[in-house]
Chain A
Amino acid sequence: MYEFEFERPGSISDAVAALKTDEAQALGGGQTLIPTMKQRLANPAKLVSLTGIGEMQGVCVEDDGALTIGGATPHAVVAEKAAASYPALAALAGNIGDPAVRNRGTIGGSLANNDPSACYPAAALASGAVIVTNAREIPADDYFQGMFATALEEGEIITSVRFPVPRAANYQKFDQAASRFALVGVFVARFDDGVRVAVTGASEDGVFRWSEAEAALGSDFSAAALDGLALPADGMIGDLHGTPEYRAHLAAVLTRRAVQAAA
């Protein structure tokens, strides 16, 4: 690890100010950034920890029923506090990594990193969540812009994430055997006005919505509605753990299973 400065501000405004320094980087739970730095693959001049900002912590249900989660809320807290209001989201959070990861890693950190195999992006996109930053509100549909790419500007902080709560939802994660990230993960969310299906782990473009499945499920929310639907292997990730064809196939299998579990 190279040397770096460290700050742990107590407010969003102080954090924003601290991040204006050259080569400063926000630090959530550090579950990706710290190992990367230990391998000397990242060299930020300053780390600005977001874990000391009280207003970025916690889970609360808004008046309109939406669930707002502070950007610095660890997965373990989401798993516990969202269990009653949004069980599919809580279950997803409770199955990220291991207990140590869940106690350190944060929702904001995960969404800002946008690992193509991470779980949270599937939940945010399928839920039609709003990514709230210090500067603006970004709909999930505009937020995810490819592997490790997001709409965030330099120095912009995810302060909270607002999840509309669907009528029914389910997340199916198929573990990559080594990392236990999602080899493929599918989040299906059924709202009164339609169904959203988001797939993580599969595409070279990162998390994406499967619009054909959404349309089919919108008129008939059943696994049978998906019969005959398939995702193309083209553009899917191929690596040691699965071919593009396998990932495309798995996404369809998991979508059916998520629908069955949610129905």
Chain B
Amino acid sequence: MPKDSGIGASPKRREDVRFLTGTGNYTDDINLRGQAYVHFLRSDVAHGRINGVNTDAAEGMPGVVRIFTGADFEGVGGLPCGWQVTDRHGEVMQEPAHPVLAQGKVRHVGDPIAAVVAETYEQARDAAEAIEVDIEDLPAVIDMKAALKDGAPKVHDDLTSNLCYDWGFVEENREAVDEAIRNAAHVTTLELVNQRLVANPMEPRVAVGDYSRANDESTLYTTSQNPHVIRLLMGAFVLGIPEHKLRVVAPDVGGGFGSKIFHYAEEAFCTFAARQLNRPVKWTSSRSEAFLSDAQGRDHVTKIELALDGDNNFVALRTDTHANMGAYLSTFSTSVPTWLHGVLMAGNYKTPLIYVNVKAVFTNTVPVDAYRGAGRPEATFQLERVIDKAARELGVDPIALRRQNFITEFPYATPVAVEYDTGDYVATMDKLEEIADLSGFAARRAESEKRGKLRGLGVNCYIEACGIAPSALVGQLGARAGLYDAATVRVNATGSISVMVGAHSHGQGHETAFPQVVAEMLGIDESMVDIVHGDSSRIPFGMGTYGSRSLAVCGSAMVRATEKIINKSKKIAAHLMEASEADIELKDGQFTVAGTDKSVAWGDVTLAAYVPHNYPLEEIEPGLEETAFYDPANFTYPAGAYACEVEVDPETGKVTIERFAAADDFGNVVNPMIVDGQVHGGLAQGIGQALLEGCVYDADGQLLSASYMDYAMPRADDLPFYSVDHSCQTPCTHNPLGVKGCGEAGAIGSPPSVVNAVVDALQSGGHKVDHVDMPLTPSRVWAAMQG
């Protein structure tokens, strides 16, 4: 019998009422008195030297308040990178400057050159057209391997080359891996591209900077997944504003998918300009600008080799990846191909020897950073594709080959530095075979063949690492931030509760799910609990939401704070009932004294805390508010098994997804409906990557897929009805809720199953195709069939 409240229940998302009735408060809904508007003049060439920016004519245009160029930011900090990677030779990465407005050179199409602040947005745009920019075109480097060749044009003149770092992991294993591969009974090799993607949240980025001369305070309203991170980075590294004079507010945010983690030039500009001009300055990205200025995702070119012994046991894995950084280092760009990618390369398998090499490369393209899954999809894709290819080469069942190599004992220390605390990969695979009705596949294939269609089945597993932590470890790995989170539980006098959380909800449903936890712990109604998030002046210092961390990390902080509330309220209840604290029990919102019929209600205790007329003031303070910071002991490791069935039209190469099943182990689940939705959305993005989406530059660095006319987002009719299950639950062993995280799983797990299915379909039709690079457009699939 499903619960109707508390942990495990599926109340409808309370935030949806305002989202669906147009009463949300997004950043673009914020308009301040006296606000001016900024338009950024962006580079239309990928690489060029700025010989001059003449704003004379533009300054005189109607409505112009002021025009800023790179010169205005001399002496101001640049956008920082939050993670310093040390390479395989012990050298730290090359880290170029990233000015707010271009200085000296432009390095990608869309690089901001000047910012026009005017009374209206249209006036700002008009004036931007009157700015004369003298740019000397330089040859652009777009292809990563070409960028690393001797004599290649350098994106940053002051760096030694376009190589950011050459990372080896685990470097000590390198020779052992090489030797194991040399001596293996079978080696399967696959070269593939994990193509660049554009994040495309429904809401483009917006920033409103405000400044109060009265108290020297700056406020930035911005579309962020982590307002405190922005406050720290922008305040400390870019603009030099101390935290107590800087407030960052991320109100309702319409999706992020990673692209709103990072600190961007535009939000620093609006904050800076508001101080300079002593008036609010607003920027709203157009969709076209989003394509040229939001950090993009993926863009790995990889060669992977899987070595097996004569019994088909995995004995070694070696991968070699070129990871595109774009023109500058976005906030967490450097961590994605390394610590979010290399450490996942064991997947669900007990491969004893693994070596990962990643060369991060600067090119004249938009910066690349975390996008839903961030490194983990890239790891999963190559691993699950090469396993599938190995199974086909060896003539064994791909599922059986996976099962044979599953990790089955936990905790399990992988050869790539992480320890999986718990999991049951056999159980999720068993569940998958059931919900995907794999036994019925042969009949479905025969039916498809009757209609002239090639049907394929693709199966894969995935493992994810969520809630990246602990801070002490990530600090050793180069993180320039802690990765804890925080919650303050403020119980009000009449018993209602505001929970101020460091996590940020931009689609995840925190406002519904988090109260379920607190309400269950206290035995009160969920409607008495509200979540406050997204405003650095209202919440404790938290690190925000990304990497499927919110419930595992911030939720744990919330549990710890609520435990403190329970402890204190029991003391108050003990006083009120003249009983021993040890005898107090809290159930269904009532405090009772064990073995008696004495009781006081939750509201009696909370009122006593704030109206302490009868209160143990000698022992405890009045009030009922507690804060906890939580720094996890380890990552969490959600895992699962996915199955995709496709039909390929052999005449056109068109792929349709006929069935998709996902069996996930997220540990304990607070709101199964929200988890379903998270998986559905992740699958849509993963299937989108597999079939539709591709960010493509031409050789000169012009973005060819620069609008929805050419960048194909998945639509409802591109997607099937999903069969989703998360009943396999091995609770996380080290956080109080036993939760693991679910936000990225679908996007991580689905691309390989789609590609595996298409390859299976094509092979069933007699085509000798063992790989097709994503997106599997009809043209590409047809070309693959032509050989």
Partners in one complex: yes
Which A residues are within 8 Å of any B CB, using their own CB?
1, 39-40, 174, 177-179, 181, 183, 239-243, 245-246, 249-250, 253
Name which residue of chain A comes closest to B125, CB basis.
Answer: A40
A-B contact count (CB 8 A): 51
CA distance A183 to B709 in the complex (A): 12
CA distance A239 to B778 in the complex (A): 13
What would be 6 A-B contacts, judged by CB atoms less than 8 Å apart? A174-B654, A239-B710, A240-B704, A246-B778, A246-B783, A250-B652
Name which residue of chain A comes closest to B651, CB basis.
Answer: A253
| Contact in complex: A240, B694 (CB < 8 Å) | yes
Please give, as numbers and ranges, the residues of chain B lying within 8 Å of A39 by CB-CB distance: 288
Please give, as numbers and ranges, the residues of chain A lying within 8 Å of B696 by CB-CB distance: 240
Among B129, B288, B691, B778, point to the contact of A242 (Cβ < 8 A). Answer: B778
Min CB distance A171 to B, Å, is: 16
Q: Does B498 contact A (CB under 8 A)?
A: no
Name which residue of chain A comes closest to B711, CB basis.
Answer: A178
Which of B129, B288, B652 is the most central at the interface, judged by chain A CB atoms within 10 Å of its CB? B652
CA distance A180 to B778 in the complex (A): 14
Q: Does B782 contact A (CB under 8 A)?
A: yes
Min CB distance A252 to B, Å, is: 9
| Contact in complex: B777, A243 (CB < 8 Å) | no
Min CB distance B299 to A, Å, is: 16
Q: Does B779 contact A (CB under 8 A)?
A: yes
Name which residue of chain B comes closest to A180, CB basis.
Answer: B715
Q: Does B230 contact A (CB under 8 A)?
A: no
| Contact in complex: A242, B709 (CB < 8 Å) | no
Min CB distance A117 to B, Å, is: 10
For the A-B complex with A179-B708, A181-B709, A250-B778 known, give 8 more contacts whose Cβ atoms are closer than 8 Å. A174-B652, A174-B654, A177-B712, A178-B692, A178-B705, A240-B710, A246-B653, A246-B782
Among A1, A179, A181, A242, point to the contact of B777 (Cβ < 8 A). Answer: A242
Binary interface encoding of chain B residues 675-699 relative to chain A, with 1 for a CB under 8 A from any of its CBs, else 0: 0000000000000000110101000
Please give, as numbers and ranges, the residues of chain A lying within 8 Å of B692 by CB-CB distance: 177-178
Binary interface encoding of chain B residues 28-68 relative to chain A, with 1 for a CB under 8 A from any of its CBs, else 0: 00000000000000000000000000000000000000000
Name which residue of chain B comes closest to A256, CB basis.
Answer: B651
| Contact in complex: B710, A249 (CB < 8 Å) | no
Among B653, B654, B708, point to the contact of A178 (Cβ < 8 A). Answer: B708
Please give, as numbers and ranges, the residues of chain A lying within 8 Å of B718 by CB-CB distance: 177
| Contact in complex: B778, A178 (CB < 8 Å) | no
Please give, as numbers and ranges, the residues of chain A lying within 8 Å of B782 by CB-CB distance: 246, 249
Q: Which of B694-730 contact A (CB under 8 A)?
A: 694, 696, 704-705, 708-713, 718
Min CB distance A185 to B, Å, is: 13
Among A181, A240, A243, point to the contact of B783 (Cβ < 8 A). Answer: A243
Which B residues are within 8 Å of any A CB, using their own CB?
122, 125, 129, 288, 651-654, 691-692, 694, 696, 704-705, 708-713, 718, 777-779, 782-783
Among A40, A178, A242, A253, point to the contact of B779 (Cβ < 8 A). Answer: A242
Min CB distance B716 to A, Å, is: 12
Please give, as numbers and ranges, the residues of chain B lying within 8 Å of A246 by CB-CB distance: 653, 778-779, 782-783
Please give, as numbers and ranges, the residues of chain B lying within 8 Å of A243 by CB-CB distance: 779, 783
CA distance A240 to B693 in the complex (A): 11
Please give, as numbers and ranges, the residues of chain A lying within 8 Å of B651 by CB-CB distance: 253
* A246-B783, A250-B652 known; A241+B711 contact, CB < 8 A: no
Please give, as numbers and ranges, the residues of chain A lying within 8 Å of B783 by CB-CB distance: 243, 245-246
Min CB distance A78 to B, Å, is: 23
CA distance A241 to B694 in the complex (A): 10
| Contact in complex: A241, B125 (CB < 8 Å) | no
CA distance A181 to B710 in the complex (A): 10
CA distance A179 to B708 in the complex (A): 6
| Contact in complex: A253, B778 (CB < 8 Å) | no
Name which residue of chain B comes closest to A1, CB basis.
Answer: B122
| Contact in complex: A179, B778 (CB < 8 Å) | no
| Contact in complex: B694, A179 (CB < 8 Å) | no
CA distance A232 to B447 in the complex (A): 35
Min CB distance A227 to B, Å, is: 14
| Top 8 A-B residue pairs of the complex, sorted by shortest distance between their CB atoms | A178-B712, A177-B712, A242-B779, A246-B779, A179-B709, A253-B651, A178-B710, A177-B692
Please give, as numbers and ranges, the residues of chain B lying within 8 Å of A242 by CB-CB distance: 777-779
Please give, as numbers and ranges, the residues of chain B lying within 8 Å of A239 by CB-CB distance: 704, 710
Name which residue of chain B comes closest to A177, CB basis.
Answer: B712
Name which residue of chain A comes closest to B704, CB basis.
Answer: A240
Which of A177, A241, A242, A246 is the most central at the interface, judged by chain B CB atoms within 10 Å of its CB? A177
CA distance A110 to B704 in the complex (A): 24
* A250-B652, A253-B652 known; A178+B709 contact, CB < 8 A: yes
Name which residue of chain B comes closest to A178, CB basis.
Answer: B712
Please give, as numbers and ranges, the residues of chain A lying within 8 Å of B705 by CB-CB distance: 178, 240
* A39-B288, A240-B705, A246-B782 known; A177+B652 contact, CB < 8 A: no
CA distance A1 to B779 in the complex (A): 36
Which of B694, B713, B777, B779 is the most central at the interface, judged by chain A CB atoms within 10 Å of its CB? B779
Please give, as numbers and ranges, the residues of chain A lying within 8 Å of B652 by CB-CB distance: 174, 250, 253
Name which residue of chain B comes closest to A242, CB basis.
Answer: B779
Min CB distance B427 to A, Å, is: 37
Min CB distance B697 to A, Å, is: 11
| Contact in complex: A179, B125 (CB < 8 Å) | no
Please give, as numbers and ranges, the residues of chain B lying within 8 Å of A183 by CB-CB distance: 778
Name which residue of chain A comes closest to B713, CB basis.
Answer: A178
CA distance A26 to B288 in the complex (A): 26
Name which residue of chain A comes closest to B692, CB basis.
Answer: A177
CA distance A262 to B611 in the complex (A): 83
Please give, as numbers and ranges, the residues of chain A lying within 8 Å of B653 by CB-CB distance: 246
CA distance A183 to B778 in the complex (A): 10
Please give, as numbers and ranges, the residues of chain B lying within 8 Å of A241 by CB-CB distance: 710, 777, 779
Name which residue of chain B comes closest to A257, CB basis.
Answer: B651
Please give, as numbers and ranges, the residues of chain A lying within 8 Å of B708 by CB-CB distance: 178-179
| Contact in complex: B777, A177 (CB < 8 Å) | yes
CA distance A58 to B705 in the complex (A): 38
Min CB distance A178 to B, Å, is: 4
Please give, as numbers and ranges, the residues of chain B lying within 8 Å of A253 by CB-CB distance: 651-652
Please give, as numbers and ranges, the residues of chain B lying within 8 Å of A245 by CB-CB distance: 783
CA distance A253 to B652 in the complex (A): 8
CA distance A239 to B711 in the complex (A): 12
Please give, as numbers and ranges, the residues of chain A lying within 8 Å of B129 by CB-CB distance: 40
Name which residue of chain A comes closest to B654, CB basis.
Answer: A174
Min CB distance A223 to B, Å, is: 12
Please give, as numbers and ranges, the residues of chain A lying within 8 Å of B778 by CB-CB distance: 174, 183, 242, 246, 250
CA distance A242 to B653 in the complex (A): 11
CA distance A250 to B653 in the complex (A): 10
Which of B288, B654, B711, B777 is the most central at the interface, judged by chain A CB atoms within 10 Å of its CB? B777
CA distance A249 to B783 in the complex (A): 11
CA distance A253 to B651 in the complex (A): 7
Please give, as numbers and ranges, the residues of chain B lying within 8 Å of A178 by CB-CB distance: 692, 705, 708-713
Please give, as numbers and ranges, the residues of chain A lying within 8 Å of B713 by CB-CB distance: 178
Min CB distance B204 to A, Å, is: 15
CA distance A250 to B712 in the complex (A): 20
Please give, as numbers and ranges, the residues of chain A lying within 8 Å of B710 by CB-CB distance: 178-179, 239-241
Please give, as numbers and ranges, the residues of chain B lying within 8 Å of A240 by CB-CB distance: 694, 696, 704-705, 710
Name which residue of chain A comes closest to B129, CB basis.
Answer: A40
Min CB distance B781 to A, Å, is: 10
CA distance A40 to B653 in the complex (A): 38
Please give, as numbers and ranges, the residues of chain A lying within 8 Å of B712 by CB-CB distance: 177-178
Please give, as numbers and ranges, the residues of chain B lying within 8 Å of A1 by CB-CB distance: 122
CA distance A240 to B704 in the complex (A): 8
Name which residue of chain A comes closest to B694, CB basis.
Answer: A240
CA distance A239 to B696 in the complex (A): 11
CA distance A206 to B782 in the complex (A): 23
Which of A239, A242, A243 is the most central at the interface, judged by chain B CB atoms within 10 Å of its CB? A242
Name which residue of chain A comes closest to B708, CB basis.
Answer: A178
Please give, as numbers and ranges, the residues of chain B lying within 8 Å of A40 by CB-CB distance: 125, 129
Min CB distance A102 to B, Å, is: 16
CA distance A1 to B120 in the complex (A): 13
CA distance A1 to B125 in the complex (A): 9
Min CB distance B349 to A, Å, is: 34
Please give, as numbers and ranges, the residues of chain A lying within 8 Å of B125 by CB-CB distance: 40
